[in-house]
């Protein structure tokens, strides 16, 4: 079946950052994701954009949502998934570049979850034919951000001018959300404890690509930042790899917990968002997680639809 939204290829070979998308590609990808979601709900099959193609999933960190949604996405687009043990690939048996040169002889694409973004960049640079997708690094989580903007669009009709406040660590999720928010026209505030703010490079990149009146403000005051917000977003206080800092961070981040009192400062229609997994009772309370305004499982569902659109546009047959 032919989708009503024409499927054209993305200009970039890889998707390692939201910033790899031109503004029109960002819009097109989200429109295709919405269309694929409707088709799936109707029981219709997806375009077989990856038929005859192999895609590897290489994750060096745990995953529930990202792994499952990418496996389903590849299969529903007609492709084959390979999941080699990550230690065989990145365990130091050979250089990252030699791994990339091998993989691209067999695969159309590789979906990688790793630590430093620099490792992902090395694979992408060494592989001239194979597409590389960022499934989370220490610095960015761009696939999550696509699903988040899709979710906001569903909830509010349009993302332009929406006031979204992210409360917590200026981490990889916050960085990609800020990138996507700049392209989506969000009025975004990121409230973090001193010393845990969004990196200045991310702020500068957002200013460079901002459109539709998008703004980005950093704050150290969670209540002021949330006041009047249409959406309140948080993430864990200690990301994967920071487990040893968890106790210290719990003390520092305590005033930034998203609870009923903090949500009371937001708009009465405000949605609560979290990329998951959530640490209930730590960065968010049960009352907020289980409230009707929580969009967290919509975000999780939309990982599938957004990533299907991404794979089709990045490495699919036209």
| Site membership for ligand CP, residue 224 (CB under 6 A) | no
| Site membership for ligand CP, residue 136 (CB under 6 A) | yes
Of 80 and 301, which CB lies nearer to ligand CP in the complex structure?
Answer: 301
Of 71 and 121, which CB lies nearer to ligand CP in the complex structure?
Answer: 71
Q: Footprint of ligand CP on residues 230-289 (CB under 6 A)?
A: 275-277
| Site membership for ligand CP, residue 66 (CB under 6 A) | yes
Q: At what angle do helices 65-76 and 296-315 cross, to 10 degrees?
A: 40
For residue 110, what are the β-bridge partners? 56, 132
Out of 53, 131, 141, 274, which one is annotated catalytic? 141
| Site membership for ligand CP, residue 63 (CB under 6 A) | yes
Ramachandran class of 83: left when φ > 0, alpha when ψ lies in -120 to 50, beta otherwise? beta
Among 37, 65, 305, 308, binds ligand CP (CB under 6 A): 65
Binding part of the chain for ligand CP, among 59-67, 85-93, 180-188, 212-220 by CB under 6 A, reads: 59-67
Out of 235, 274, 299, 307, which one is annotated catalytic? 235
287 is catalytic: no
> Distance between CA atoms of 167 and 131, rounded to whole angstroms?
33
Of 127 and 284, which CB lies nearer to ligand CP in the complex structure?
Answer: 284
Q: Are 219 and 196 in contact (CB under 8 A)?
A: no
| Site membership for ligand CP, residue 117 (CB under 6 A) | no
Strand order in the sheet with 187-191: 215-219, 187-191, 163-167, 231-234, 271-274
Out of 28, 39, 53, 113, which one is annotated catalytic? 113
Of 159 and 176, which CB lies nearer to ligand CP in the complex structure?
Answer: 176
Q: Are 317 and 267 in contact (CB under 8 A)?
A: no
303 is catalytic: yes
Cα dihedral 66, 145, 167, 189, rounded to 10, equals 170
> Distance between CA atoms of 59 and 66, rounded to whole angstroms?
10
| Site membership for ligand CP, residue 72 (CB under 6 A) | no
Binding residues for ligand CP, total number by CB under 6 A: 9
DSSP string, 130-143: SEEEES--SS--HH
Give me the active site residues, please. Answer: 113, 141, 144, 235, 275, 303
Residues at the interface with ligand CP (CB under 6 A): 63-66, 136, 144, 275-277
């Amino acid at each position: 079946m032919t989708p009503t939204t024409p499927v054209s290829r993305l200009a970039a070979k890889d998707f390692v950052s939201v910033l790899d998308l031109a503004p029109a590609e960002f819009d097109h990808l989200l429109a295709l994701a919405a269309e694929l979601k409707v088709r799936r709900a109707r029981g219709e099959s997806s375009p077989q954009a990856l038929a005859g193609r192999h895609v590897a999933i290489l994750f060096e960190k745990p995953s529930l949502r990202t792994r499952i949604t990418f496996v389903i996405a590849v299969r529903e687009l007609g492709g084959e998934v390979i999941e080699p043990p990550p230690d065989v690939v990145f365990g130091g048996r050979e250089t990252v570049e030699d791994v990339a040169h091998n993989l691209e002889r067999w695969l159309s694409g590789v979906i990688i979850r790793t630590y430093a973004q620099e490792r992902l960049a090395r694979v992408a640079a060494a592989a001239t034919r194979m597409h590389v997708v960022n499934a989370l690094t220490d610095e960015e989580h761009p696939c999550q951000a696509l699903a988040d903007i899709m979710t906001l669009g569903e909830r509010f009709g349009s993302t332009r001018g929406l006031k979204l406040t992210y409360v917590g660590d200026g981490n990889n999720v916050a960085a990609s959300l800020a990138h996507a928010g700049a392209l989506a026209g969000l009025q975004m505030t990121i409230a973090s404890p001193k010393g845990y703010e969004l990196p200045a490079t991310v702020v500068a990149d957002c200013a460079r690509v901002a459109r539709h009146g998008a703004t980005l403000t950093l704050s150290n005051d969670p209540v002021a930042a949330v006041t009047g917000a249409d959406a309140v977003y948080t993430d864990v206080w200690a990301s994967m790899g920071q487990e040893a800092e968890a106790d210290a961070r719990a003390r520092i981040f305590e005033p930034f917990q998203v609870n009923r009192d903090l949500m009371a400062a937001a708009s009465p229609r405000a949605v609560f968002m979290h990329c998951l997994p959530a640490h209930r009772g730590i960065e968010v309370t049960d009352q907020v997680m289980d409230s009707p305004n929580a969009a967290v499982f919509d975000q999780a569902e939309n990982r599938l639809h957004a990533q299907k659109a991404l794979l089709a546009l990045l490495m699919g047959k036209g």
